[in-house]
Every structure is written in structure tokens, then in C-alpha cells.
Amino acid sequence: MITRNSPVSVLPGIGKVKAAAYAKLGILTLGDLILHYPRAYENRGEIRELADARPDGKSALILTIGSDPKVVRLRSHKSFLKFKAFDDSGVCEITYFNQDYLKSVFPVGSVFRFWGKVEQKGKRFALSSPVAEPWAPGVNLPPLCAVYRLTDGITLKQITKDVETALALLAEQPLSDPLPPELIAKHNFLPLAVAEEHLHRPLDKDDLEEARRRLVYQEFFDFSLGMAFMRRKTTAPTAPVCSAGSLEPLLSLLPYRLTGAQERVISEIRTDLAKPVPMSRMIVGDVGSGKTICAAAAIWTVVQNGCQAALMAPTEILARQHYTDLSALFSRLGVRVALLLGATPAAEKRKIRAALLSQNPQERIDLVIGTHALLSEGVEFAAPGLVVADEQHRFGARQRAALAEKGKNTHLLVMSATPIPRSLALILYGDLSLSKIDELPPGRQRVDTFVVDEGYRERLNDFIHRQLADGGQVYVVCPAIEEEETAPDEVDFSGLFDPEPAKPPLKAAVSYAKELAVVFPETRVGFLHGKLKSAQKEAMMASFVAGEIGILVSTTVIEVGVNVPNASLMVVENAERFGLSQLHQLRGRVGRGVRKSYCVLVTGGTADRLGERSRERLSVMRTTYDGFAIAEKDLQQRGPGDFLASSASDAVRQSGELSLRLGNLAEDSLLLTAAAQDAAELLAADPKLQNHPLLVDRIAEATGNLIS
């Protein structure tokens, strides 16, 4: 029997090779294929005349074949097929390459709907390799054709056909709708299976909107239930009361005075810690607002009360930096700090684990710092008091759940530079208290920001030469590590009826570093990315900190937390690929010292339409320096992706991440609220969803069986 769990190889014509290509898109089963939602739609229903074709994109045309196709052979087994076709406004020459078999498809006098970009030279029109569908009066060709994210070996034609076949096969065993009938009636929804079909093959725009409305709701609904389940499993009854001690010893070591905002946040934290109820608090503060010292104050408070703390960062680089900074501070207070990374030698790990469990307070490690690997390293504490997660938005849902589990009888503090919308925070954390640092330490300078395209390259290089000559250092951030690796496309509904032209090529860190080494012989050029060995990363970062490397080419591994005060210029290549919040984080890497600092965002390609659009989007960065305002814009532009897990290539990737395929938190906020409310009511009436086994299955699947 064919089900959604059947492998794609049950489809006719899908063998090992095609199945492997599908796997690259994350499509293993028919269900995955159905959930590979369209990226956009081609509006082939809007028929234009040749003379009136779009100058900048593809058009749909109804043309009559006017001449017999001729095959022209070239050397080296190449050939092309040429014929003429016309409508009332003109005649067009149509060409196909290496497809001689099409010769018999286009007899003179037959009519087709063509879809392609019309080139015009004087009064002559030309179409190259257009999509052709036989047309006759009364024939209903679909007006909207889905466009999908593709990969090598999977063409649009192929996936369109396979989706169609899969939908037809699955229609034989229709999916029972997981949503309670009352809710379907209340919102006047299409059945789920129908909505899925219509999303792939909409009859018209209204039909598409209806399908999308149902699926977005379902997504939010599943998401709300899933998060509620995960949270419930991990809610904690009590945590140690940490009310003794004073902050003075810690504060007296600082070379600066706390800002008013930091003082307020720290006192909120200390009030929480003094209660037997586990703290669940998030510090939100812009890059450089000084969140770390607030966490240090929390850690110090807990340690003074005889308890231990764990601090987790999303990358090794950041974990090391925290270790360097905090152990310098805490060693003067007699607090024992250890660093535990995936790369830490096994013997060392064993020693640290033992010291964390030691009953002797003189030997016991008070603070362990690491990456999320801490969660999976089987770390146990003799006297657990506090778990701190830095830059929490980079952690996946599974890690968040594990984190809460770890923090069962402890206090939990999470820190983020990305302000999380209230609605989303509620879904993710339930009742999480927020502390805002809305003030930067005094004397911070503004990082002047420019948005430019390839045409500016030479001037940019001159500028880099000058920064280097001045003794400054430069970050260059690329979206990919190696050439063949393209950053994943997001499901992009902004161009719903107007698919994007091909994207500009990506700058890749490794090869780009080599190119730059030639352009800038006066300095050393290093590179850094997530796939390097941990020791290599550390060495590279250390040379950059020490000033031995003038230009550091990197992927977004340096996005969070890294502190090199001498760095004065941040260049981001293919900046169009990044979310605004992410760019703001990257920009926060410079302007940390006394040097006047700059950020240059380079968009790929040149002054074409796509470039124009990216520059417009990015121009917010020129005028806005407030992370909160930028996050708001980001949410409007890109949806919640960045809040859930970063989409850049080096992001901490998680299986079992609950990510949104369709929904956009900003645009669909009404659906989100409705779905969250409905989910809460359903759970109140039936806490274990005993009457809704289909929903339980769905959530279990979406969360990687995390909740079962």
C-alpha cells in the first residue's frame, strides 16, 4: 500500500539516482515531497501579446506555429531546432537546443501556450527554450504553475510531474483530517488533503489563498501543541534559593560602571534567584549592550550560595571567548571555571565531569562553560543552580527542550541579541519573563554602513588597503564555505506571482580567501568556517586577535559574540542572502574599540532588478542602528526563521527542529493567534489529546518523537 511514508522510489521513473537527488532536498518519502511546498508561482494565466511581453521577466503567450521546425546540426553532437510562431501582434522565432525530438511536436497551424522570456530586437521577437503546452479553445490550462526549490538532477518539470503523481496516488487513501471538526467548521477550512493539493495546483489566486490559510493555520497549530507538550514534560517544581551574598566583590573588579539598564536587569535576576521557584528569564539586549556581565552576576550569586552553574554558547569560538573572559574575572574570586567542548580530550572530560560531581566544595567546579554539546556529554552536577544559554536564538527546538530538561530543578537564564516577538516567545517558552537592556554602555561609536554592488569593488579594495595601512583589521563574511555549496533557499512568498530570476553566484570563504591574498599582498589573509577542526579555528582566531592576520574571511561562525577591538571594517559579501538581524549582529563585530569603524554590505550581481530590490531591503541598515527596530523589520520581511534557528550555512542545524514552511509570523499573525488560542483550549479540555490521536502522531513526527 502506498502511503505518505512510502519512499519516492515508488513513483514511476524514480530510480536510485533521482532518489538520491531528491534526498539532497530532504525529500525521502512521498510525504516529504508533498511538504516541499512551492517557492513561488508562475502566472501563466495572464496571456500577453508578443508586442506587449514583459521586458524583465517571463510572459505567457498563445502562439500559432507558422513554419515547420528545422533542425540545424552543429559539430560536437550539438544541434538546435528553429521555427516561427505568431500572434496578432507579431512573429517570433522559437529555438530549442539539443532537443531534435521536439520536431514533430510543433506542426504548422497548431497552437500552444508558451511560457518564456521574449527577447526583442527591433521588430523581431525571439523565444529560447520556452515551456510549451498544447492549447485549444475550451482547454483549461492551469493559470498558476508552482515553482519549487530544485537541485542538480531534479528539474521543475520532473518535480511537477512527481508531485502530481504523488497527489494522485495518495488521494486513493485520503488522509483523515487531524484537526477536530469543530475547528474546521469554525474557521471554514478546506480539508487538509485538499488544501495540500491546491497549494501545489491552485485553480486561481483565491483558491491558493484558501489552501495557504488552512496550511499556515495547521502549521501554527501543530507548532503550538508541540511546544506545549515539550514544555509540559520539562516544567520544574523547585530550584535552590540563592539569596545570600553581595555583588560588590564582582563589581569592584570591573574597569567600568554598570549602566542603569544592566543594574535593573541584574536586580530582576537576583530577585528571581532568591525564590524557590525556578527562574525562567530572558535577557534581550542589542549587540554590545553588555549581557555577559549580567550573566556573570547571576553565576556569582548562585556560586556564593553553594550552587553550580553551566554556561552554554552556540559556537565553540564563543564558548572559548567566554571562558577566557570569565575565568580571568572569576579566578580572582576563587570561583573554579572549566571549559568543556566536543574537542576536549576524553581524559580531560572525565576529570571535569568528576570535579562537577565532587562533594568537596574545595575541589568542585563551580562553573562549566561549553557549547550545546554540554547537553549531550552526560554532564551532571553535585549542586545544580543555574543554566545560562547565550545567544539562545541560535539553539534549535530540540536543544531548547533538552536545556529546559537540564534546568529542571535549576534556574534558567537565556540571553539574546535578537528580540523575540512576544507572540513567538509565548509559544516557545510559555511564561518566560523578559529583561530588556535598552541602553548601550557610554562612548560607543556608530558603525557607518554602506550598501554597494559589484560596481564598487575597486573602491572597496582601496578602502581595505587604507584600513590595513592604518593598522586596522578587516572581517569579510561570505555566505558559503565552498563554491558548490549554495546556501539553502528559503520558501519565499514575497515574489508569489513573480518568481525571481537566477540568483547571483555566491562568494565562498575558502576560494575567496585565496583571491584576496593576491589582491592584498601587504597582509596575511586567514579563513574561518564551521567545518574546520576546532584547533584550527582556535589558532586562526588567535592570530586574528593577535593582529597577525589583517583580513579574516569567514562564514557566519563569527556572527555571535566574538570580540576583536582592533577590527575596524566588516565587509559582508552576498549581503542579500542574510537577514537584517544577522547583518546587525555581524556589524556588531566592529566598532568595539577606539577605531572609527565601517560596515560595507556588498550585494551580488550588478544593477539589475534583483540587485535593486536587495539594496532597497538592505538600506534599512544604513539608517537604523537599533537592533530592536531592525528585528521588527526583519520579521516583516522574512518571517520568524531567524528567531527559530539561523538560516545561514553555519547555523546550528538540528533534526527535529520545528520550523515553519509557510507561515510568516508578521503577515499571518491573526492566524497565529487563532491557532495558538485553539491549541490552548484543546489542551485545556484534553490535556493528553487522548481524543485526538492523529494530532499526537503529527506532533510526534514534527518534533522528531521528542515528546512521545
Alpha helices in 430-474 (DSSP H): 457-469
Closest approach, Cβ 291 to Mg ion, in A, equals 5
Closest approach, Cβ 292 to Mg ion, in A, equals 5
Alpha-carbon distance of 632 to 666, in angstroms, equals 9
Closest approach, Cβ 444 to ligand ADP, in A, equals 8
Of the listed pieces 141-149, 229-237, 283-291, 491-499, which binds ligand ADP according to CB under 6 A? 283-291
Of residues 296 and 660, the one with the C-beta less far from ligand ADP: 296
Alpha-carbon distance of 382 to 396, in angstroms, equals 27
Grid cell in block for residue 305: 550560595
Of residues 163 and 560, the one with the C-beta less far from ligand ADP: 560
Closest approach, Cβ 292 to ligand ADP, in A, equals 3
What is the radius of gyration, based on Cα positions, of the chain? 29
Closest approach, Cβ 324 to ligand ADP, in A, equals 12
Of the listed pieces 65-73, 113-121, 273-281, 288-296, which binds ligand ADP according to CB under 6 A? 288-296
Q: How far is CA 441 from the centre of its chain?
A: 30
- The Cβ-side half-sphere exposure at 672, using a 13 Å CA radius, reads 19
Closest approach, Cβ 516 to Mg ion, in A, equals 28
Choosing from 57, 66, 288, 342, the residue that interacts with ligand ADP (CB under 6 A) is 288
Of the listed pieces 86-94, 282-290, 326-334, 498-506, which binds ligand ADP according to CB under 6 A? 282-290
256 binds, among Mg ion, ligand ADP, none (CB under 5 to 8 A by kind): ligand ADP
Q: Is residue 564 classed as helix, strand or coil in its secondary structure?
A: coil
289 binds, among ligand ADP, Mg ion, none (CB under 5 to 8 A by kind): ligand ADP
Q: Is residue 182 classed as helix, strand or coil in its secondary structure?
A: helix
Q: Is 588 in the site for Mg ion (CB under 5 A)?
A: no
Question: DSSP label at 332?
Answer: T
441 binds, among ligand ADP, Mg ion, none (CB under 5 to 8 A by kind): ligand ADP
Closest approach, Cβ 296 to Mg ion, in A, equals 11
124 sits in which H/E element: strand 124-128
Of residues 178 and 441, the one with the C-beta less far from ligand ADP: 441
β-pair type (59-65, 79-87): antiparallel
Closest approach, Cβ 440 to ligand ADP, in A, equals 9
Of residues 221 and 643, the one with the C-beta less far from Mg ion: 643
Of residues 284 and 695, the one with the C-beta less far from Mg ion: 284
β-pair type (144-147, 40-43): antiparallel
Burial call 458-467: b when 16+ CB within 10 Å, e when fewer: eebeebbeeb
Closest approach, Cβ 375 to ligand ADP, in A, equals 21
Question: DSSP label at 95?
Answer: E
Choosing from 291, 336, 406, 411, the residue that interacts with ligand ADP (CB under 6 A) is 291
Choosing from 127, 170, 279, 287, the residue that interacts with ligand ADP (CB under 6 A) is 287
Alpha-carbon distance of 592 to 634, in angstroms, equals 24
CB 356 within 8 Å of CB 308: yes
315 binds, among Mg ion, ligand ADP, none (CB under 5 to 8 A by kind): none
Closest-by-Cβ residue to ligand ADP is: 290
Question: DSSP label at 548?
Answer: S
Task: Report 222-281 residues binding ligand ADP (CB under 6 A).
Answer: 256, 258-259, 262
Beta-bridge partners for 13 = none
Q: Is 314 in the site for Mg ion (CB under 5 A)?
A: no
Q: Is 445 in the site for ligand ADP (CB under 6 A)?
A: no
Sign of CA dihedral 564, 565, 567, 569: positive
Grid cell in block for residue 507: 562568494
Of residues 283 and 675, the one with the C-beta less far from ligand ADP: 283
**CA end-to-end span of the chain:** 26
Of the listed pieces 290-298, 306-314, 404-412, 454-462, which binds ligand ADP according to CB under 6 A? 290-298
Closest approach, Cβ 417 to ligand ADP, in A, equals 6
Of residues 14 and 631, the one with the C-beta less far from ligand ADP: 631
Of residues 11 and 567, the one with the C-beta less far from Mg ion: 567
529 binds, among ligand ADP, Mg ion, none (CB under 5 to 8 A by kind): none
552 binds, among Mg ion, ligand ADP, none (CB under 5 to 8 A by kind): none
Of residues 59 and 259, the one with the C-beta less far from ligand ADP: 259
CB 581 within 8 Å of CB 635: no
Q: Is 627 in the site for Mg ion (CB under 5 A)?
A: no
Of residues 412 and 480, the one with the C-beta less far from ligand ADP: 412
Q: Is residue 286 classed as helix, strand or coil in its secondary structure?
A: coil
Alpha-carbon distance of 341 to 374, in angstroms, equals 7
Alpha-carbon distance of 129 to 125, in angstroms, equals 14
Per DSSP, the residues of 334-360 read T--EEEE-TTS-HHHHHHHHHHHH-S-
How many chain residues interact with Mg ion (CB under 5 A)? 1
Task: Report 552-581 residues binding Mg ion (CB under 5 A).
Answer: 561
Closest approach, Cβ 323 to ligand ADP, in A, equals 13
Per DSSP, the residues of 610-627 read HHHHHHHHHTHHHH---H
Using CB atoms within 10 Å of the CB of residue 47, give its burial: 0 to 12 exposed, 13 to 18 middle, 19+ buried: middle
Of residues 561 and 611, the one with the C-beta less far from Mg ion: 561
293 binds, among Mg ion, ligand ADP, none (CB under 5 to 8 A by kind): ligand ADP
Q: Is 585 in the site for ligand ADP (CB under 6 A)?
A: no
Of residues 407 and 561, the one with the C-beta less far from Mg ion: 561
258 binds, among ligand ADP, Mg ion, none (CB under 5 to 8 A by kind): ligand ADP
How many chain residues interact with ligand ADP (CB under 6 A)? 15
Per DSSP, the residues of 649-687 read TTS---TT----SS--TTTTHHHHHHHHHHHHHHHHH-T
Q: Per-residue contact track with ligand ADP, 520 to 559, x per CB under 6 A?
A: ----------------------------------------
Q: Is residue 495 classed as helix, strand or coil in its secondary structure?
A: coil
Grid cell in block for residue 17: 539516482
Choosing from 199, 282, 293, 477, the residue that interacts with ligand ADP (CB under 6 A) is 293
Alpha-carbon distance of 533 to 249, in angstroms, equals 38
Of residues 81 and 567, the one with the C-beta less far from ligand ADP: 567
Task: Report 403-442 residues binding ligand ADP (CB under 6 A).
Answer: 417, 441
Q: Is 289 in the site for ligand ADP (CB under 6 A)?
A: yes
- In which residue are the cell numbers 547571483 written? 504
Grid cell in block for residue 209: 489563498
165 sits in which H/E element: helix 156-171
457 φ, ψ to 5°?
-50, -45
Q: Residue 528: CB partners within 8 Å, gap ≥ 6? A: 509, 537, 540, 541, 544, 552, 553, 554, 555, 557, 558
Q: Is 290 in the site for ligand ADP (CB under 6 A)?
A: yes
Of residues 192 and 287, the one with the C-beta less far from Mg ion: 287
Q: Is 306 in the site for ligand ADP (CB under 6 A)?
A: no
- In which residue are the cell numbers 567566554 written? 322
The residues of the shown chain that bind ligand ADP, judged by CB under 6 A, are: 256, 258-259, 262, 285, 287-293, 417, 441, 563
Chain positions contacting Mg ion, by CB under 5 A: 561
